[in-house]
Amino acid sequence: MLFIGTGKGDITAFFKGIGLLGYGLPQHHMLAIETPLYSRAFVFEQLDKSQKVCFVNCELGFITPSLKQGVLEYLTKNHPDLQYNTSNLLLSAQHTHCGPSGFSYHVIYNMSTPGFHQGVYDKIVNGIIESILEAEKNKQKANIQLRKSSFSPDIPVSFNRVIDAYNANPEVNKLTQETRHLAVDREMTLMHIISEAGQPLGSINWFAVHTSNLPNNYYKLCSDNKGYAASYLEESFHKENLHYVAAFAQGACGDVSARVKYNRKLSTQRGKWEGYFPDDLKSAKFNGNLQYEKAKEITESSVVTITDEMIDSISLYVDFSKIDLNPKFTNGQTNCVTSPSCMGIAFLEGSQMDGPGLPLFLGKIARGIAKNTRTKELNEAIKKGGDYQQFIERKNKAQSVKDIGVASGERKFLGNFDASKLPLPAFIDETILNIKKMSKQGGFDSQNPWTPQVLTLQILKIGTIGICAFPFEITTVASWRLKKTLEDALKVKGIEYVILAPYSNEYNGYITTNEEYQLQLYEAGHNVFGQWSLNALQQKFAELADEFSKPKESRNTDNGVHPEVFTQEELKKQAFFHSRRIRRIHRKENN
């Protein structure tokens, strides 16, 4: 038995006209509210109050370093007695594509807003804090029950959206487009919290499916399929507990879509539930209901009660931009490395199933420019020699077959162009216009990278459960390999159930297998640290698990690596500005 508390806070950051986060398009903006957005917090504390952890799930596209920093700064200053720190507080996102943008300190993630929006940031941070403080207030003696259950193959809940990439992995049985619903992890893991008196208090479940039933021409804030699932489950328990809190957290959904078919007739919206419903909102509710029904089934089934009462946590800052791989994690291959993050043209063009990005004609132009500048860059490096040559060769070794669209770690576009010199005219795409405007106001002047290079790996031990958090979207087969690494490494710690928690604490792209990377489809194009990213993630998690197995006083996670720091002056230069689209919306309202 533990002290367990649940809480819920409102993070509905609605500001008419600003961009939504998920599809990366400035024309995907908020005009109304379909559903409120919530932060759901769960505090687990030993009965002797010596150790505790907090798991938070937010109805957002992803978590940024700025959010966790803001939450921790407030709690440390105003509630030091709660003793929260980087290791025992885990912030995760369920990955709706219709949540607000504008809350990142890293400039590239705010291009659809456009810019950093203080109002959005404050609303989210305050809502997360509200949920944590409510959970702290509501702590009571309770037990944890855990169970896993899989969707049967006939339930249309999830589909692999890049079956060719899945089939590139040597360990899988090759599947077809018609059987792509089997090329996913169909298992839901649910942790149910029951009070000492037998009252259900709340639950967290992890299941892999993209929270993107709603397309990039849907203009309302909405928590999408997982948000509907959460509200359905909470409502189902209202007779027993009006304050029941249900988090539908994300699993390994990097290559997993909620959509049945790809609709080629639509230019900006792809993949309605054809044959099921005529509109996407009903599709989101339908998929949410499927997840709700599975979760409800698990709560009513026989379960494993977690009797271990030990709580523990550990975290590690990792600079993913410069990891040298141990051959132990690369099947014996030597000289494998990562490099500063690079987004590929394949990523910028968007996902076929879940929504297009850069127009394809611009993609072709961009590929040509990227290839040309990369060749020039390598030739120049050979002439210069020294450290510069080593750096460029390392980048090419890591990024390999990727056509680089945004070298966010080096602060360059199309391989080697500053924001102010981006060789594409502003009139052909609104994102390019916003980049040029942001550049003029100095938003790209910071020496910090455009996306975070230093990221957090974290493990929460709750009895025999190990929640392993990382800041990426991970594909199905990549998750199998990572989970095996963690299961092997954490046995000595007494952890019997490893749960992967992606979209946690920060965000910077995807994790694919090396085999998937070579195809350079959408997901691999956003595997930013290069073809060995998964192997690097396995290596660093293994190192963290090794430290976790030691007594607390003997652990060493101070490796001298720390997240990027932004000054108020830098944030002012990145501040929100009224794009032409927002001005047009406001003019309409005023007429």
Same domain, 115 and 30: yes
Question: Where is 533: in which H helix or E strand?
Answer: helix 533-548
Cα-Cα-Cα-Cα dihedral sign, residues 529, 534, 537, 542? negative
- Give the pairing type, strands 38-45 and 2-10: antiparallel
Backbone angles phi, psi at 406, to 5 degrees: -130, 110
Same domain, 295 and 331: no
Q: Is 74 a residue whose pLDDT tops 70?
A: yes
pLDDT band at 427, cuts 50/70/90?
A: confident
pLDDT of amino acid 432: 86
Q: What is the pLDDT of residues 474-524, one digit of tens each?
A: 999 999 999 999 999 999 999 999 999 999 999 999 999 999 999 999 999
Q: What is the pLDDT of residues 96-129, one digit of tens each?
A: 999 999 999 999 999 999 999 999 999 999 999 9
- Residue 370 belongs to some domain of the structure: yes
pLDDT band at 579, cuts 50/70/90?
A: confident
- Residue 435 belongs to some domain of the structure: yes
Burial-class residue 64 by CB neighbours within 10 Å (0-12, 13-18, 19+).
Answer: buried
Q: What is the pLDDT of residues 76-90, one digit of tens each?
A: 999 999 999 999 999
Same domain, 290 and 382: no
Same domain, 538 and 433: no
Same domain, 98 and 153: yes
131 neighbors 264 (Cβ within 8 angstroms): no
> Which of 30-44, 130-144, 298-312, 389-403 is least confident?
298-312
55 neighbors 92 (Cβ within 8 angstroms): yes
Backbone angles phi, psi at 421, to 5 degrees: -115, 20
For 365, other C-beta atoms within 10 Å of its C-beta total: 17
Give Cβ neighbours of residue 147 (< 8 Å, ≥ 6 apart): 189, 190, 192, 298, 301, 302, 303, 304
Q: What is the pLDDT of residues 225-240, one digit of tens each?
A: 999 999 999 999 999 9
- Residue 591 belongs to some domain of the structure: no
Give Cβ neighbours of residue 214 (< 8 Å, ≥ 6 apart): 96, 97, 98, 222, 224, 280, 281, 284
Residues 272-298: what's their mean pLDDT? 82
Residues 535-549: what's their mean pLDDT? 98
**pTM as predicted:** 0.95
209 neighbors 157 (Cβ within 8 angstroms): yes
Read off the tokens for 547.
């430290």
- Residue 573 belongs to some domain of the structure: no
Total structural domains in the chain? 2
pLDDT band at 278, cuts 50/70/90?
A: low
- Residue 575 belongs to some domain of the structure: no
Nearest-CA neighbor of 581 among 443, 362, 431?
A: 431
Q: What percent of the chain has pLDDT over 90?
A: 81
Same domain, 422 and 309: no
pLDDT of amino acid 4: 98
Q: What is the pLDDT of residues 405-419, one digit of tens each?
A: 999 999 999 867 888
Same domain, 261 and 344: no
259 neighbors 272 (Cβ within 8 angstroms): yes
pLDDT band at 276, cuts 50/70/90?
A: very low
203 neighbors 246 (Cβ within 8 angstroms): yes
What is the identity of the amino acid at 110? N
Same domain, 126 and 250: yes
Longest dimension (CA), the chain: 74
Where is the domain boundary, 452, 471, 498?
A: 452
Mean pLDDT of the chain: 93
Q: How far apart are CA 171 and CA 588, in angstroms?
A: 56
532 neighbors 511 (Cβ within 8 angstroms): no
pLDDT of amino acid 348: 81
Q: Is 571 a residue whose pLDDT tops 80?
A: yes
Q: What percent of the chain has pLDDT over 70?
A: 95
DSSP string, 361-406: HHHHHHHHHHHHHHHHHHHHHHHH-HHHHHHHHHHHHHHTT--EEE
pLDDT band at 273, cuts 50/70/90?
A: very low
- Residue 150 belongs to some domain of the structure: yes
pLDDT band at 272, cuts 50/70/90?
A: very low
Q: Is 581 a residue whose pLDDT tops 90?
A: no
- Residue 286 belongs to some domain of the structure: yes
Same domain, 289 and 329: no
pLDDT of amino acid 547: 97
Owning domain of residue 460 = 2-316+453-554
Same domain, 153 and 6: yes
pLDDT of amino acid 269: 40
Residues 152-164: what's their mean pLDDT? 95
166 neighbors 255 (Cβ within 8 angstroms): yes
Same domain, 167 and 33: yes
Q: Is 324 a residue whose pLDDT tops 80?
A: yes
- Residue 581 belongs to some domain of the structure: no
Same domain, 396 and 492: no
Q: Is 386 a residue whose pLDDT tops 50?
A: yes
Q: Is 199 a residue whose pLDDT tops 50?
A: yes
Give Cβ neighbours of residue 369 (< 8 Å, ≥ 6 apart): 414, 415, 423
- Give the pairing type, strands 159-160 and 20-21: unpaired
